[in-house]
Amino acid sequence: MDVLAGRKTGGYIEGDIKISGYPKKQDTFARISGYCEQNDIHSPYVTVYESLVYSAWLRLPHNVDTKTRKMFVEQVMDLVELGPLRSALVGLPGINGLSTEQRKRLTIAVELVANPSIIFMDEPTSGLDARAAAIVMRTVRNTVDTGRTVVCTIHQPSIDIFEAFDELFLMKRGGQEIYVGPLGCHSCHLIKYFESMPGVSKIKDGYNPATWMLEVTASAQEILFGVDFTDLYKKSDLYTRNKSLISELSVPRPGTKDLHFDTKYSQPFWTQCIACLWKQHWSYWRNPTYTAVRFLFTTIIALVFGTMFWDIGGVRVKIYLTQWDACMLLFSSWVHKIHHQYSLL
């Protein structure tokens, strides 16, 4: 997922990535995509509403006026159910401010106000209990219902969370594909696919399909059954349909053209400066302890260096003036000597 989102910084990347049939350009793709990290990083001394306004200010196109921008922020807050928390400070994780689940919803909202076409989420339910994970996944589902594409990595999902997804990309160790296709109602397509495999037992009533599919496709089960689920997938009709769909989508449709932006960033340089200064102003204003400590340390350091170099500056100036007089005297005697030699000629 990090490779698709353009966030991978190490290792080797091979192959082609295309968007609507055109080669992917990261600068352009970053303008139409969002990425929610697993760790929620926010400024602690700004409110929820100000965090969203700041993101929208920098990431929405410059031709969007202030009124429209704020209206869009309000719509996103309603979508992710952050309206009651609009004036709450974000705070520090685990100390004060928002809870882990609320910070996760804020992370999603910060990306949504950029109006992306696709959003990548790195384990959005990580570190959450069942209730909080259900609230976050309801937010994800609401995002999908707006017409956006959401790509998630998920870790040990419950039945309700697992069935909130439309499609599944299942891989085993080494990055080999096992299943790529729709889940269906109550994971019916996934269950039907694996139950058709030789040696795979049927799922029990009420059993979590996510847990079941991981159990039946484990390496120990492959050895027990004497099969390779990667080979079985490549021989299936599902693989053929997926390859046909990839070939179809890899060619640009007639009448379309590659996405292009005139500038690298959504906002000009001075607008970025104003937005950053606005956010830093509130961060310092609401943290007087930090500001007072900085003033105290600045005063102490000024006094320390002032007393260390007290009365030394005047002596150095006198030394520099004496050296300058000596240089000027030497230069004058050199010029006079040359003038005298030329006059003898």
pLDDT digits (tens, 9 = 90+) for 241-291: 999 998 888 888 888 888 888 888 888 999 999 999 999 999 999 988 888
pLDDT (tens digit per residue) in 112-168:
898 888 899 888 888 788 888 888 888 888 888 888 889 988 887 888 888 888 899
- pLDDT at residue 336 greater than cutoff 70: no
State the pLDDT at residue 266.
Answer: 87
Claim to verify: residue 18 and residue 67 sit in the same structural domain: yes
Q: Decide if 87 is inside a domain.
A: yes
Asked if 93 and 217 sit in the same domain, the reply is: yes
- Are 6 and 30 contacting, i.e. CB atoms less than 8 angstroms apart? yes
Residue 314, pLDDT > 80, answer no
Residues in the chain: 345
Note whether 45 and 186 are same-domain residues. Answer: yes
- 59 and 108 part of one domain: yes
For residues 51 and 110, is the Cβ–Cβ distance under 8 A? Answer: yes
Residue 52 confidence (pLDDT) = 93
CA–CA separation, 241 and 236 (whole Å): 9
Higher pLDDT, residue 329 or 49:
49
Task: Report how many domains make up the chain.
Answer: 2
Residue 9 shares a structural domain with residue 69? yes
Shared-domain flag, residues 327 and 257:
no
Q: Considering the domain boundaries, does residue 189 fall inside one?
A: yes
Strand partners, 227: none
Residues 323 and 202 occupy one common structural domain: no
Percentage of the chain modeled with pLDDT above 90: 17
Question: Are residue 208 and residue 257 in the same domain, yes or no?
Answer: yes
Q: Name every residue whose Cβ is closer than 8 Å to that of residue 222 and which is 6 or more positions away in sequence.
A: 228, 229
Say what the alpha-carbon torsion angle 282, 285, 289, 294 is, to the nearest 10 degrees: 90
At 275, phi and psi to the nearest 5? -65, -40
What does the pLDDT read at residue 338?
54
Residue 303 domain-assigned (yes or no): no
Residue 302 lies in a domain: no
The residue-averaged pLDDT of 66-95 equals 89
The pLDDT of residue 329:
56
Q: Is 79 part of a structural domain of the chain?
A: yes
Whether residue 118 is found in the same domain as residue 175 = yes
* Residue, of 145 and 309, whose pLDDT is higher: 145
pLDDT of residue 344: 45
Q: Pick from 249, 245, 240, 256: which is nearest to 18 by CA?
A: 249
Q: What is the mean pLDDT of the chain?
A: 84
| Cβ-contact 320, 314 below 8 angstroms | no
Tell me, yes or no, whether 291 lies in a domain: no
Q: Is residue 301, in this structure, part of any structural domain at all?
A: no
Tell me: do 65 and 189 sit in the same domain.
yes
Is 223 inside a domain boundary? yes
Distance of alpha carbon 212 from the chain centroid: 32
Q: Quote the domain boundaries for residue 145.
A: 2-285
Confidence of residue 299 (pLDDT cuts 50, 70, 90): very high
More confident of the two residues 338 and 67: 67
Q: What is the pLDDT of residues 40-63, one digit of tens each?
A: 888 899 999 999 999 999 999 888
CATH code assigned at 35: 3.40.50.300
Give whichever of 223-232, 240-249, 313-322 has the largest mean pLDDT: 240-249
- Do residues 37 and 167 both lie within one domain? yes
Three-state DSSP class for residue 118: strand
In this structure, the answer to whether residues 166 and 220 fall within a common structural domain is yes
